[in-house]
Amino acid sequence: MTVTQNTKTLEEARHMAEVRKDEFYDYLRLESVSTEHKQIPETVAYVKDLIEQTGGEVKVLDDLGGHPVIYGYFPASSSGNSDRTLLFYNHYDVQPADPLDEWHTEPFEPTVRDNTLYARGVSDNKANFMARLNALSILKESNDGFPCNVKFLLEGEEEIGSPNLGLYIEKYADLFQADACIWEAGSKDKYENYIVSAGMKGIAYFDLEVTTAAIDIHSSIAAIADNPAWRLIHALSSMKNEKNEIVVEGFYDGIAPLSKKDKEAAANQPFKAEEVKAQYGLTGKFITEGTDVTPAEALAYSPTMTVCGFSSGYTGPGIKTVLPKNAKAKLDCRLVPGQNPKHVRDSLRQHLDDHGYGDISLTMVAAEGAQRTSLEDPFIETVVNSAKKVYGDENPVIVSPSMAGTGPSELFEKYLHLPIAGVGAGWAYSGAHAPNENIRLADFYQNIAHMVELIKVFGVEKN
Amino acid sequence: MTVTQNTKTLEEARHMAEVRKDEFYDYLRLESVSTEHKQIPETVAYVKDLIEQTGGEVKVLDDLGGHPVIYGYFPASSSGNSDRTLLFYNHYDVQPADPLDEWHTEPFEPTVRDNTLYARGVSDNKANFMARLNALSILKESNDGFPCNVKFLLEGEEEIGSPNLGLYIEKYADLFQADACIWEAGSKDKYENYIVSAGMKGIAYFDLEVTTAAIDIHSSIAAIADNPAWRLIHALSSMKNEKNEIVVEGFYDGIAPLSKKDKEAAANQPFKAEEVKAQYGLTGKFITEGTDVTPAEALAYSPTMTVCGFSSGYTGPGIKTVLPKNAKAKLDCRLVPGQNPKHVRDSLRQHLDDHGYGDISLTMVAAEGAQRTSLEDPFIETVVNSAKKVYGDENPVIVSPSMAGTGPSELFEKYLHLPIAGVGAGWAYSGAHAPNENIRLADFYQNIAHMVELIKVFGVEKN
């Protein structure tokens, strides 16, 4: 389908970004680092102001603990479609800025160099929130006003794992009820494709530990005393075999088979094996080789079990003849829709017990379910087609069935029952969570324009 | 057999220790730390003097590199047995003294507190050398003089793995030729038994490493990229199974079955399972449980394969979702007679290659063969019976078929073809290699007396 690029919207986006630039920059100046609980009340007040300045209503919800959740509401204009509601999810918290000495400019003083805007939290995800507000300002000034209802949900704990968000969404499900949701972030990839993400994997992250002695022991005693490193090595080996098959009973429970559309979407990913190998300096073959799963399918749809860390005994240079007293491992399981983190934990626990490793402790230190919007859902097409009006041929629009990262999108699906798509103003080198986080201003303008086009299209669609 | 304690010899030992105390203390003041090449020439000169002062001849051998090897010779007196030669092995080097702040007194200033003498190197093994010289002084002053030929071999690189000793023993095998050898060190155990050790395990210590990427990678990529931690875990698992059986083909090559005498010697060890478990705070059963090998047999006769260290990826607190770029392990194999470190290395390499782990590097960083003198050898009985004349009922004399430590005794067996037994002036808490290394003076006197009795008995025996 050929879509005509709407250059007028892009002009309006540029203009509105300039008009609201000071508001945006002041937002970036707020050091809303959630893990340090910094400037949270100030940031909540500021977000409330921003929404009200854009013409919306605001509720600050703080009755369930944690940093407040902010509700914003922009009802459809009289000429709009009041039966349709689009929900934007954003967060007002950011990652810590350290290591500070790697920043070229102050992380909380927005700075433009080479048409690129640098600030902590700009790509993740303050620019996306601002782009959405700018889009609403453009629509508000237009003849037709708001083509549909628009709601916002902003939380302040996304960067610390959204520990309280589920409580708020469950209690306020009616308030946040909508027909579809645009996720907090998104970006172009390194080939300048504009990515619409339809889901994300979940995670169950475990600490494993086994202690077999009170002290490190001379290794001559290994002739009689058990070795915690060997125990943990054998236990892990029993969970995933040499062919990289996870053999824990129950681990795969609940996973639905892939649809034809799922496989097509994976095949459409701009995945270049040699480039990926070069990027990371991989020395071996992909572990998908010899299986009937392609690398792109595995990235999108395969659950994983990864040893992120293993430590035991003496690991310095030279020789130390020690029998370690304990051994620890960190295990990261990426989950797909249907898998439940708690069930995965229970399955691992049962597996360890069944294999004689009852003494190995297993602690789940992070848990988020996976979420994937069906690629058949018309909302995905709406987001894609509205994007094409802005991005044109230079930036092919590509649907990613599942992003690398994780987030609380499963909660939205669970309590609000709506399709979710992620788009944003980032690019491949935005450096979210890293020093010199940035967005390119051109991407910001395009993203504003996309939000205008999306809301317009969404408003005229039927439920 | 009841043996009468020779209290006169013990009196002579006390006296001679007092006479030669200053010489001993000056020896302890020499900071002969081999790994730092400290005061080596001074110590060599001092040892030469000590031997000459005792009436011996000395050759300093330094033509093959490394710290000099010292040859000492005391020919049998005219009334003695010039057909019999006893060789004493000692080393004049010591371990570094650090951590210095844990010493209660200066490590290189011998200090007596509570009839215990503290100094670096005193138990390992300067006191033993001095005890042997004192015994010779006692014999020299006696009516009969030296009952047999006595030789010394002192090296200065024992604490750094005796890298050059094999060259010297091979070249100077005729010079050092003897009928039996007393090893450098020994001690009472914690039950105050006086231990005669008849051997020691060997060692083959390996560094294993595998690298699969140039950088640490976001763990979402684990769906396609191989994981070095998993590779090393699987490789190690393939080498030793969950029952603690080493399943590397060739590992056990060359090991002779145990004799009845071997099994008896193990059964005679003062091994108390509950005490050992309490000492180390062991939480589990001994790994010998359910096998036909007793713990004491395993300690003496079983080769081991011990993971001394394992490190990969992120091992700090909390969560890091990383796919590590590499993984490392340290593997300590204790060997028994018949096993050859190089053959063990080749077997491990072959095993890794055969199991698809050709990319895992294997570096042998320490290698020493095992040595065990047959418990049927009459020299063991000579050492035991001469000890009984000194130690009496308070200190039962027990033969340990194989010590926990390793040393270059295999070289003596290989080039000099003689039985070896280890005895010394240490006790269970001498702290060799640790701060506040010490010997009890009473043990020192007893050990001098034992050396007197041993040389006397050895001299009258026939070849």
Tokens at B75, concatenated: 């020919």
| B286 interaction partners in chain A (CB closer than 8 Å) | 224-226
Coil, strand or helix at A111: strand
Average pLDDT rounded to a whole number, residues A66-89: 97
* DSSP strands (E only) in B107-231: 111-113, 116-118, 148-155, 180-183, 194-197, 199-200, 202-211, 217-218
Helix (H), strand (E) counts: chain A: 14, 19
Fold that domain A202-255+303-368 belongs to in CATH:
Alpha-Beta Plaits (3.30.70)
* DSSP strands (E only) in A68-163: 69-74, 81-91, 111-113, 116-118, 148-155
pLDDT at A99: 87
Q: Using omega within 30 degrees of 0 as the cis cutoff, is the peptide bond preceding A147 cis?
A: no
**What tens digit of pLDDT does each residue of A115-163 get?**
999 999 999 999 999 999 999 999 999 999 999 999 999 999 999 889 9
pLDDT at B85: 98
Query: What is the secondary structure of A40-53 as a DSSP string?
Result: HHHHHHHHHHHHHH
pLDDT at B7: 86
**What tens digit of pLDDT does each residue of B320-339 get?**
889 999 999 999 999 999 99
Tokens at B307, concatenated: 């993971």
Residues 171-210 of B with CB under 8 A from A: 201, 203, 205
User: Residue B282 is nearest to which of A213, A308, A332, comparing CB atoms?
Assistant: A213
Strands A397-400 and A194-197: parallel
Tokens at A318, concatenated: 């030279």
User: Residue B299 is nearest to which of A213, A224, A238, comparing CB atoms?
Assistant: A224
Mutation to test the A interface, candidates B224, B247, B325, most A Cβ within 10 Å = B224
CA atoms of A67 and A51, how far apart (whole Å): 18
Report the b/e string of B5-35 with b at 16+ CB within 10 A.
ebeebbebbbbbbeebeebbbebbebbbbbe
Strands A326-335 and A371-372: unpaired
Q: Give which of B158, B192, B168 is closest to B391, Cα–Cα.
A: B192
CA atoms of A275 and B125, how far apart (whole Å): 61
Coil, strand or helix at A360: coil
pLDDT at B421: 98
Instruction: Name residue, tokens 């027909």.
Output: A179
Q: Are A448 and A134 in contact (CB under 8 A)?
A: yes
CA atoms of B309 and A420, how far apart (whole Å): 46
The torsion region of residue A102 among left (phi > 0), alpha (psi -120 to 50) and beta comes to alpha
Instruction: Name residue, tokens 């993971």.
Output: B307
Query: What is the secondary structure of A378-429 as a DSSP string?
Result: HHHHHHHHHHHHHHTTTS-EEEESSBSS--THHHHHHHH---EEE--SB-TT
CA atoms of A225 and A223, how far apart (whole Å): 6
Other C-beta atoms closer than 10 Å to the C-beta of B393 total 9
Coil, strand or helix at A90: strand
pLDDT at A29: 98
Domain range summary for chain B, segments of one domain joined by +: 7-200+370-460, 202-255+303-368
Residue B362: what residue type? L
Q: Are A338 and A254 in contact (CB under 8 A)?
A: yes
Average pLDDT rounded to a whole number, residues A65-78: 97
Average pLDDT rounded to a whole number, residues A232-239: 98
Which residues lie below 8 Å from residue B324, measured CB to CB, with a gap of 6+?
Answer: A307, A308, A309, B216, B227, B228, B229, B312, B313, B314
Chain B: closest CA distance from residue A446 (Å): 28
Cβ contact B324–A308 (<8 Å): yes
Other C-beta atoms closer than 10 Å to the C-beta of A463 total 7
Cβ contact B309–A320 (<8 Å): yes
With vertex at residue B36, the alpha carbon angle to CA B30 and CA B40, rounded to the nearest 5 degrees, is: 40
| B212 interaction partners in chain A (CB closer than 8 Å) | 282-284
Which residues lie below 8 Å from residue B247, measured CB to CB, with a gap of 6+?
Answer: B238, B239, B240, B241
- Is a pLDDT exceeding 60 seen at residue A2? no
Strands A199-200 and A371-372: antiparallel
pLDDT at B1: 45
pLDDT at A321: 87
Q: Are A110 and A426 in contact (CB under 8 A)?
A: no
With vertex at residue B86, the alpha carbon angle to CA B85 and CA B89, rounded to the nearest 5 degrees, is: 135
Q: How far apart are the first and last CA of chain A?
A: 23
Residues 147-176 of B with CB under 8 A from A: none
Residues 402-431 of A with CB under 8 A from B: 404-405
Q: Are A332 and B219 in contact (CB under 8 A)?
A: yes
A219 in contact with B at a CB cutoff of 8 Å? yes
DSSP 8-state code for residue B220: G
CA atoms of A213 and A65, how far apart (whole Å): 42
Confidence tier at A4 by pLDDT (50, 70, 90): low
Q: Are A372 and A336 in contact (CB under 8 A)?
A: yes
A244 in contact with B at a CB cutoff of 8 Å? yes
Tokens at B186, concatenated: 């020994």
Cβ-count burial of B408 within 10 angstroms (0-12 exposed, 13-18 middle, 19+ buried)? buried
Q: Are B150 and B74 in contact (CB under 8 A)?
A: yes
Q: Are B440 and B428 in contact (CB under 8 A)?
A: no
Cβ contact A319–B299 (<8 Å): no
Beta partners for residue A330, in sequence order: A207, A309
Chain B: closest CA distance from residue A359 (Å): 9
Confidence tier at A1 by pLDDT (50, 70, 90): very low
Residues 350-389 of A with CB under 8 A from B: 356, 359, 365-366
CATH code for the part of the protein at B7-200+370-460: 3.40.630.10
Residue B218: what residue type? H
Cβ-count burial of B257 within 10 angstroms (0-12 exposed, 13-18 middle, 19+ buried)? exposed
Q: Give which of B65, B275, B249 is closest to B163, Cα–Cα.
A: B65
- Is a pLDDT exceeding 60 seen at residue A71? yes
Q: How many residues does chain A have?
A: 463
- Please report, in tens digits, the pLDDT of each residue of chain B (463 residues total): 455 667 899 999 999 999 999 999 999 999 999 999 999 999 999 999 999 999 999 999 999 999 999 999 999 999 999 999 999 999 999 999 988 999 999 999 999 999 999 999 999 999 999 999 999 999 999 999 999 999 999 999 999 889 999 999 999 999 999 999 999 999 999 999 999 999 999 999 999 999 999 999 989 899 999 999 999 999 999 999 999 999 999 999 999 999 999 999 999 999 999 999 999 999 999 999 999 999 999 999 999 999 999 999 999 888 888 999 999 999 999 999 999 999 999 999 999 999 999 999 999 999 999 999 999 999 999 999 999 999 988 999 999 999 877 889 999 999 999 999 999 999 999 998 889 999 999 999 999 999 999 999 999 987 7
Chain A: closest CA distance from residue B168 (Å): 25
DSSP 8-state code for residue B258: P
Mutation to test the B interface, candidates A212, A224, A241, A334, most B Cβ within 10 Å = A224
Q: Give which of B442, B342, B397 is closest to B115, Cα–Cα.
A: B442
Which residues lie below 8 Å from residue A239, measured CB to CB, with a gap of 6+?
Answer: A246, A247, A248, A305, A348, A351
pLDDT at A319: 85
Residue A115 CA: distances (Å) to CA of A17, A18, A21: 13, 13, 14
| A269 interaction partners in chain B (CB closer than 8 Å) | none
Cβ contact B299–A205 (<8 Å): no
**What tens digit of pLDDT does each residue of A151-170 get?**
999 999 999 889 999 999 99
Cβ contact A302–B201 (<8 Å): no
Cβ contact A322–B314 (<8 Å): no
CA atoms of B183 and B405, how far apart (whole Å): 12
Phi, psi at residue A240, to the nearest 5°? Answer: -140, 125
**What tens digit of pLDDT does each residue of A318-338 get?**
888 899 999 999 999 999 999
With vertex at residue B458, the alpha carbon angle to CA B456 and CA B463, rounded to the nearest 5 degrees, is: 145
Strands B322-323 and B217-218: antiparallel
Tokens at B200, concatenated: 């020691």
* H helical segments located in B185-288: 228-239, 260-267, 273-280
Residue A217: what residue type? I
Per CATH, B7-200+370-460 and B202-255+303-368 having the same topology is answered no
Instruction: Name residue, tokens 């190197």.
Output: B121
pLDDT at A200: 94
Maximum distance among all alpha carbons in chain A?
85
CATH superfamily of A7-200+371-460: Zn peptidases (3.40.630.10)
**What element of type H or E holds A26?**
helix A21-29
Cβ contact A310–B306 (<8 Å): no
Instruction: Name residue, tokens 């960190």.
Output: A330
